[in-house]
Amino acid sequence: MSLPTVFIPTLLQSLTGGRSSVEVEGGTVRQVIDNLEQAWPGIRERLLDQGKLRPNISVAVDGEVTPMGLIEPVSPSSEVHFIAAIKGGAQAAHGQRHL
Amino acid sequence: MKTQEYTVVGTRPIRHDGVDKVTGRALYGADFQMAGLLYGHILRSPHAHARIRRIDTSKAEQLPGVKAVVTAGDFPEVPERMVDLGEGDTPLSYARGNVLAKGKVLYKGHAIAAVAATSVHVAEEAAGLIEVDYEVLPCVLTAPEAMQDGAAILHDDLKTKEFGEQTGRVSNVAEHFRYAMGDIEAGFAQAEVMVEREFNTATVHQGYIEPHNATALWNNDGRILVWCSTQGSFSVRDVTACLLDVPVSRVRVTPMEIGGGFGGKIPVYLEPVAALLSKKTGKPVKIVMSRKDVFEGSGPTPGSHMKVKIGARKDGRITAAQAYLAYEAGAYPGAMVAPGAMCVFAAYDIANVVIDGFDVVVNKPSTAAYRAPGATNAAFAAESVVDEIAEKLGIDPLDFRLKNAAKEGTRRADGPKYRRIGCVEVIEAMKNHPHYTAPLGGPHRGRGVAIGFWFNVGLPSSCTISVSADGTVNLVEGSTDIGGTRTSIAMQAAEVLGIPAEDVHPTVVDTDSVGFTAVTGGSRTTFATGWAAYEAAQDVVRQMKERAAKIWETEAASVALDRGVFQSGDKRMTFQELAAKLDQTGGPVVGRGAVNPRGVGGSFSGCIADVEVDPETGKVTILRFTSVQDAGKAIHPSYVEGQMQGGSVQGIGWALNEEYFMNDAGSMTNSSLLDYRMPTALDLPMIDTVIVEVPNPGHPFGARGVGEANIVPPPGAIANAIYRAAGVRMNRLPMNPPAIMQAIWSQRD
């Protein structure tokens, strides 16, 4: 059975034993993060603040930054990336909003 | 729909707002008038960095004609919190602080206080009577300077973040992030040729001709009405409501016509201040920036310090690439370094990449977006190094780029894989253009090429379409029209309805009159609001089919629409004929479209530049310039060409002339359009354009965002042309005569 592939940001790879990508279960971004936390404790806190994506982080599913954030559906063949969010007016250039 | 089936998309109708624009009847923010209008003026800091010990407004308040004075103390008291102003979360104190300084001024031109008076002259005089006691502090003006140990600190509460981790280190570096892919050391170990260079680029301004302006009325019913020049009326609404601590429903923003923005009219500067003055006076208050205010008090694009290293094998394949990007955010965090990092190697398929980005605050105006924000700086560096590598390998610069070009499935260093893109097609179009092989025709001349990338975003857009009895339709939208989007959006509705573009009457309305619509920016408006218009038109078609079915006493499913004619069996009725029968068949037809679309299609752009360099003075003349860009499907080719020409000219300005010339005290010494030299038509040849069409499968008509990628490659192409003309590799922008002579003399030494 295939699972969503999560690409771990370089600066978080110390939490995943140096792995740059991992496969975890999850039907939404939130579930993916919850399952990441199970396997590698501490990673959720680096990605979320008070249940929301941190202001400096965006999530892209299958190559596109999602406007739905944590509730974005994820399929077993999906790629999930956490990338630096764009602040300032350029946010309009990258379409991030946080849920 | 297949391309050849389009009847409206791809044509060149006259813009709907053309008559008003060319006859001077179009109303801009500064034209706004209202009974009892007062005029505002902003007092700005003369220092780049200073603590405000005391502000005394009493003399200003006593001047006859003065009705009110406000400072940061007039904002309602609320606890500090993070606020999402559509630009990512930011502390409320930072958002307010850039509108009216509290405690400290962080750049020369920082707004401190505002006056409302019966005339603009009285307001200006009164502002001069406000006494501010400053403790002047040392300033830092560049990223390398601000990153040094012991540098003057702008914000005592700013601690460097590293991907969600708070380092606890108080610093001018707001954030450090890294994108990495593959094994960078192994990649460089495979390289047979390597080039590593450092680059610096100056702070430059978007240079929109119309200055910022805003009129606000804090009405007796508690509503705040705003008329202004903005790229996003809903963004102004939300920011104004947030800073004034009122619900968004209390604010209505009416976007006036806009005289240019290029990203610089997304931030909010004047609206909350005019509202505070209106609250105190009970009158509407209008504030219009001077050109000096625009340069010194609004957001330019970041200056930058960059290092780029690229390695390649002798066969021309790039094996590894590394970039260090430190961008100046200006006074508050938010430099455009993340998109710069995403774009620096975006045109190439490279297995091993490391990119470090640093967002650094300095004592300059807080930066704003500027057409492909962050990408132009980065592409100047990357394309210069790519050109040098190609030269060392003895490979034609376009062949080298083709060999390494990004394609569908290529993974960018920030992670995502490309869907269908047109990078290869753009490079091939450059190679096949007669310009690329034309003789240069004289000494001291050179030809350079470069390519670049910029994204396209979705974000929410809304439209409604109502059908008139004469068969025309009224299209209501919320996207400020900067580059002809009334027409490019109307055309997409017209294509669906099967009527001429001229029969669609588009209107840009206030925030009470249309659903939420995000800013005109991110190359999104023709893509996303066009998509909303497409959906609204589909809704109209669905309803019209039901009306036709009612008249023909048949099922709606049996009714088809083909090029403006409804038909079912042998029955036919034109859109116009059916529109005249709506009253009898159930009343008005109004279609709605509200989208937050996926399927964005980024755009690649390239250019070929011929220059002549005067070896005695260093003056560069652009002899010939060709811009090539993938538009997906050009909805209105003339407007795509206009974007390409505009972006090219701005890129030429970055390359050759434009810079904030700062003295050691942090004062911009060229804050007028006389001294801040933007290229004019007299400086340039005709900018040739070639539209490449690699349709975006994510859009109903295949459109990609085309507004921004065109500014990305010109500085790199011109630097490479200068090298071939004068024999010097330039490593800074602008490449003005002093910089070029310095490079020539350094080489002679």
Distance CA A12, CA B173 (A): 19
In this predicted structure, what is the pLDDT of residue B87? 54
Nearest CA in chain B to A8: B415
In this predicted structure, what is the pLDDT of residue A67? 78
Of B159, B46, B61, B158, nearest to B105 by C-alpha is B46
Contact of A1 with chain B, judged by CB distance below 8 Å, is answered with no
> Each residue of B186-204: pLDDT tens digit?
999 999 999 999 999 999 9
Contact between chains at A60 and B459 (C-beta distance less than 8 A) = no
Distance CA B53, CA B56 (A): 10
Distance CA B272, CA B546 (A): 48
Which residue do the tokens 């070009």 mark? B405
Nearest CA in chain A to B232: A92
Task: Answer for the pair B403, B739: CB distance below 8 angstroms, yes or no.
Answer: no
Contact between chains at B416 and A10 (C-beta distance less than 8 A) = no
Sheet holding B732-733, edge to edge: B165-170, B159-162, B173-181, B353-361, B318-330, B304-312, B193-201, B732-733
Q: Which domain holds residue A38?
A: 5-89
In this predicted structure, what is the pLDDT of residue B82? 79
Contact between chains at A88 and B369 (C-beta distance less than 8 A) = yes
Contacts of A85 in chain B (CB under 8 A): 88, 338
- Per the domain annotation, does A97 fall within a domain? no
Q: Can B3-26+458-595 and B32-137+210-259+265-297 be said to share one CATH topology?
A: no
Distance CA A80, CA A60 (A): 6
| CA distances to B19, B20, B27 from B24, in Å | 8, 6, 8
Distance from CA of A51 to the nearest CA of B (A): 14
What is the CATH number for A71? 3.10.20.30
Cα angle B150-B156-B160, degrees, rounded to a multiple of 5? 75
Distance from CA of B528 to the nearest CA of A (A): 11
- Percent helix, strand and coil across chain B, each to the nearest 5: 30, 25, 40
Q: What is the mean pLDDT of chain B?
A: 96
- Per the domain annotation, does A13 fall within a domain? yes
Return all residues near B267 (Cβ < 8 A) that are at least 6 apart. A89, B87, B98, B298, B299, B366, B368
Query: In the CATH scheme, what is the code of domain B3-26+458-595?
Result: 3.30.365.10
Contact between chains at A89 and B369 (C-beta distance less than 8 A) = yes
Distance CA B452, CA B712 (A): 5
- DSSP strand pairing (B193-201 vs B213-218): unpaired
Contact between chains at B415 and A46 (C-beta distance less than 8 A) = no
Work out the average pLDDT over B162-181. Answer: 87
Distance from CA of B339 to the nearest CA of A (A): 7
Least confident of A23-37, B77-91, B712-726: B77-91
Instruction: Flag whether pLDDT at A92 surpasses 60.
Output: no
- Per the domain annotation, does A31 fall within a domain? yes
- Per the domain annotation, does A54 fall within a domain? yes
Distance from CA of B8 to the nearest CA of A (A): 28
Task: Answer for the pair B607, B714: CB distance below 8 angstroms, yes or no.
Answer: yes
CATH 3.40.50.2300 holds for B32-137+210-259+265-297 = no
| CA distances to B284, B325, B496, B517 from B594, in Å | 33, 38, 16, 9
Contact between chains at A86 and B339 (C-beta distance less than 8 A) = yes
Nearest CA in chain B to A6: B415
> Each residue of B275-334: pLDDT tens digit?
999 999 999 999 999 999 999 999 999 999 999 999 999 999 999 999 999 999 999 998
Please give the distance of CA B329 from its chain centroid, rounded to a whole number: 16
Angle between helices B233-244 and B271-281 (to 10 degrees): 50
Which A residues, 13 through 42, put their C-beta within 8 Å of a C-beta on chain B?
Answer: 20
Distance from CA of A40 to the nearest CA of B (A): 16
Distance CA A92, CA B525 (A): 11
Contacts of B374 in chain A (CB under 8 A): 90
In this predicted structure, what is the pLDDT of residue B81? 84
Contact between chains at A11 and B459 (C-beta distance less than 8 A) = no
User: Best of B205, B327, B459, B704 to disrupt the A interface by mutation (most A CBs within 10 Å)?
Assistant: B459
Contact between chains at B164 and A93 (C-beta distance less than 8 A) = no
Task: Answer for the pair B677, B580: CB distance below 8 angstroms, yes or no.
Answer: no
Contact between chains at B373 and A64 (C-beta distance less than 8 A) = no
Indicate the residue type of B519. Answer: V
Contact of A51 with chain B, judged by CB distance below 8 Å, is answered with no
In this predicted structure, what is the pLDDT of residue B442? 96
- Per the domain annotation, does A19 fall within a domain? yes
Of B652, B537, B635, B661, nearest to B592 by C-alpha is B537
pTM of the model: 0.95
Q: Return the higher-pLDDT residue of A1 and B305.
A: B305
Instruction: Flag whether pLDDT at B264 surpasses 90.
Output: yes
Alpha helices by DSSP H, B596-710: 637-656
Instruction: Flag whether pLDDT at B217 surpasses 80.
Output: yes
Share of chain B above pLDDT 70, in %: 98
SS3 B160: strand
Contact of A50 with chain B, judged by CB distance below 8 Å, is answered with no
Contact of A98 with chain B, judged by CB distance below 8 Å, is answered with yes
Domain boundaries, chain B: 3-26+458-595, 32-137+210-259+265-297, 304-456+600-748
User: What does chain A come to in residues?
Assistant: 99
Contacts of B378 in chain A (CB under 8 A): none
Distance CA B120, CA B129 (A): 15
State both tokens at B699: 């859009």
Number of domains in chain A: 1
pLDDT band at B34 (very low <50, low <70, confident <90, very high): very high
User: Which residue among B89, B164, B175 places its CB closest to the CB of A47?
Assistant: B164
Nearest CA in chain A to B420: A63
- Per the domain annotation, does A51 fall within a domain? yes
Query: In the CATH scheme, what is the code of domain B304-456+600-748?
Result: 3.30.365.10
Contact between chains at B417 and A63 (C-beta distance less than 8 A) = yes
Q: Rounded to 10 degrees, what is the CA torsion of A6, A11, A16, A21? A: 30
Contact between chains at B598 and A60 (C-beta distance less than 8 A) = no
Contacts of B83 in chain A (CB under 8 A): none
Contact between chains at A89 and B164 (C-beta distance less than 8 A) = no
- Per the domain annotation, does A95 fall within a domain? no
Contact between chains at B86 and A54 (C-beta distance less than 8 A) = no
Contacts of B342 in chain A (CB under 8 A): 83
Work out the average pLDDT over B183-187. Answer: 97
Interface A–B counts its CB contacts (< 8 A) at: 159
Contact between chains at B163 and A85 (C-beta distance less than 8 A) = no
Contact between chains at A93 and B455 (C-beta distance less than 8 A) = yes
Indicate the residue type of B662. Answer: M
- Per the domain annotation, does A83 fall within a domain? yes
Return all residues near B217 (Cβ < 8 A) that are at least 6 apart. B34, B224, B225, B278, B283, B284, B285
Distance from CA of B419 to the nearest CA of A (A): 8
> Each residue of B559-597: pLDDT tens digit?
999 999 999 999 999 999 999 999 999 999 999 999 999
Instruction: Flag whether pLDDT at B687 surpasses 80.
Output: yes
